[in-house]
Amino acid sequence: MTAYTSSLPLSGIRVLDLSRVFAGPWCGMVLGDFGAEVIKIEHPMRGDDTRDWSIRVGNTETAYYNSVNRNKRSVTVDLQKPEGQRIVCDLVKQCDVLIHNFKFGGLDKLGLGYESIKSIKSDIIYCSISGYDRTGSEAARPGYDLVVQGEAGLMGLNGEASQPPLKFGIAVVDMFTGMYSAQAILAALFERNRTKQGRHIEMALFDCGIMITSYCGLEALVMDEDPPRYGNAHPSIVPYGVFETADSPVVITVGNNAQFERFCREVIDRKDLADDQRFKTNLDRKINRDVLVPEILQELKKRKRELLMNKLTKAGIPCGEVLGLLEALRSERVKAGGLVSQQPHPIEGSTPILAPPYRFDGQRLPVRMSAPVLGEGTNAILSDMLGLDKKKLTELKDKGVI
């Protein structure tokens, strides 16, 4: 069985993905995108929790599940049963990476904690994803994206100043944690080539949530207070954001003083604003944004978006439309870039899958497999990797182990 393509960067790497929901599965998907063979372990009856979230696709998948599980195989194993635990241990012997996001101590109780796995496979890269620091007082707290968005201050920097704190539109903490985890695994795999040693990587949603605050977080520390919230505007660059025109909104990003000069003279015909000492530098414009922005809004509302965008583009000022999500996904830009892939589906006929964002040597990395039907790879993988025959597989299925 080969579920990877030899030309991809991680071809030959095998990943055992014991994670559920978003952060862990996203990490596994990234590794699968790079060519690793990713074996997703799921409960025989219910599978990953996200098979029951969002919009149904077929009998066992949903749009949510499919969004984080492309390029994987699904093997159903009941980890609560000793025989299921033995299957995982036998699979580990032939894997390079193990990913999980069980509650703190959960896998240790099943005999699948790091020390146990390391004794079976000494060079394993073992990635534990949790809500909080596994060495701290909150190690046992479950981690949820929405909770961490609140606790890490992310809601406090998002949205309009006149409105309550606002969560991001997607599970941004889960997503970044998955990406950071994949980066750490790649680093550990690179190191293993040199040292022949494995690693125990420990990632926490809260830690990653703090990292996401980025320059806003550092500004808060330097100012010794929360930075103001500006909604679609930029806290440091003016004018920069979403602006209403005579017919529809437009994104305008005036990134430096030369652009501001051209914006005033060539786009909105306001030489007086370009000459005004209050607006000469970006720091000046930030201080005086309450005076400047209303003047700009007044001018933009006189003009239609298409005309404005033509002038902005001619003046070398970045700009863009504000599209609905479906409109964006069906745009010529997405189509030309191959960013949505139609994949075969045993029930639906075909189903859309977002393609990996990575390009290597001019080629986008492929969607090799759509997100799997629950347990589609169980028999093949356990037969090929562990040598289990049809009789043994039937016996395990009858016992509810697989």
**Alpha-carbon distance values, 359 to 8, 123, 216, 335, 355 (Å):** 11, 30, 30, 16, 11
Amino acid at 262: R
**269 has catalytic annotation:** no
Tell me if residue 233 falls in helix, strand or coil: coil
pLDDT for residue 7: 86
CATH number for the domain running over 240-244+249-321 = 3.30.1540.10
Q: What is the DSSP letter of 373?
A: P
pLDDT for residue 147: 97
Please pick, among 33, 174, 384, 398, the residue that the annotation labels catalytic.
174
CA angle 162, 164, 170 (to 5 degrees): 115
158: left (phi over 0), alpha (psi -120 to 50) or beta: beta
d(CA 352, CA 369): 12
d(CA 39, CA 171): 24
Domain boundaries, the chain: 14-212+335-398, 240-244+249-321
From first to last of its 402 residues, the chain has per-residue pLDDT tens of: 334 456 899 999 999 999 999 999 999 999 999 999 999 999 999 999 999 999 999 999 999 999 999 999 999 999 999 999 999 999 999 999 999 999 999 999 999 999 999 999 999 999 999 999 999 999 999 999 999 999 999 999 999 989 999 999 999 999 999 999 999 999 999 999 999 999 999 999 999 999 999 999 999 999 999 998 988 888 889 999 999 999 999 999 999 999 999 999 999 999 999 999 999 999 999 999 999 999 999 999 999 999 999 999 999 999 999 999 999 999 999 999 999 999 999 999 999 999 999 999 999 999 999 999 999 999 999 999 999 999 999 999 999 999
Q: What is the DSSP letter of 366?
A: P
What are the E-state strand segments in 225-370? 240-244, 249-253, 319-321, 340-345, 349-354, 359-360, 363-364
pLDDT for residue 5: 56
Residues near 30 by beta carbon (within 8 Å), at least 6 away in sequence: 178, 179, 182
pTM score:
0.92
- At residue 147, φ and ψ (nearest 5 deg) are -60, -45
Picking from 343, 332, 337, the residue whose alpha carbon sits closest to that of residue 363 is 337
Question: Which tokens hold the place of 393?
Answer: 């597989």
Question: Which tokens hold the place of 322?
Answer: 């504000």
Residues near 176 by beta carbon (within 8 Å), at least 6 away in sequence: 208, 209, 211, 212
CATH 3.30.420.40 assigned to 14-212+335-398? no
